[in-house]
Amino acid sequence: MPKIRTVGIAMDFSPTSKLALRWAVDNLINDGDRIILINVQPPTSDHTRKELFEDTGSPALVPLEELKEMNFTKQYGIARDFEVLDVLDTVSKTKGAKVVAKVYWGDPREKLCVASEDLKLDSLVIGSRGLGSIKRVLLGSVSNYVVTNASCPVTVVKGNPSSNSKH
């Protein structure tokens, strides 16, 4: 029997993070695996939960059922994205994957690396916007940093820079 894995998926609800989610579901997730959707809120966020959980992230892994509720959205300041919820609901039903989420506040580069260790991920999937070399130098690349510093293997799903909305 194959080992049940814990796969983190970085989710900022951008087209490339949704592409990464779809790629992971189609190519990586096996029956019974655990998916942890990892959302990093910006350090400038003034949400009340940030004050309480800035260092450790949200106190618990939030199950898929709670992700669907408006209360979760209000508690953590994350917009409900029905496209993402539909993909997660489908993989939960078709592959028996256990889906949970964790919210962090701060620099995505650092927090995704912290998450890879704290959550004992077997793998992390992250989308890349495909920035050109000049923008990457000026803005920094979250995916490059995470690939170099995460405590688990990282898969970078590259979006098409000219049309990130394609599936």
Euclidean distance between CA atoms 50 and 83, whole angstroms = 26
Asked whether 101 and 38 are in contact (CB, 8 A), the reply is yes
Give me the phi and psi of 23, to 5 degrees please. -60, -45
**Which two tokens mark 101?**
């989420």
Q: Note the pLDDT of residue 133.
A: 57
**DSSP-derived pairing of the beta strands 98-105 and 62-63:** antiparallel
Share of the chain above pLDDT 70, in %: 77
Q: Note the pLDDT of residue 67.
A: 81
The topology under which CATH files domain 6-158 is Rossmann fold (3.40.50)
- Residue 105 vs residue 55, higher pLDDT: 105
162 residue type, one letter = S
Which has the closest alpha carbon to 156: 167, 166, 145? 145
Give me the phi and psi of 163, to 5 degrees please. -155, 75
pTM of the complete model: 0.83
Average pLDDT over residues 77-87: 87
Element (H, E) at 52: helix 48-53
Q: What residues have CB less than 8 Å from 28, skipping those under 6 apart?
A: 7, 123, 125, 155
Euclidean distance between CA atoms 18 and 40, whole angstroms = 15
Domain limits of the chain? 6-158
- Residue 116 vs residue 136, higher pLDDT: 116
Output the CA–CA distances (angstroms, integers) from residue 4 to 9, 31, 63, in the order listed. Answer: 16, 8, 17
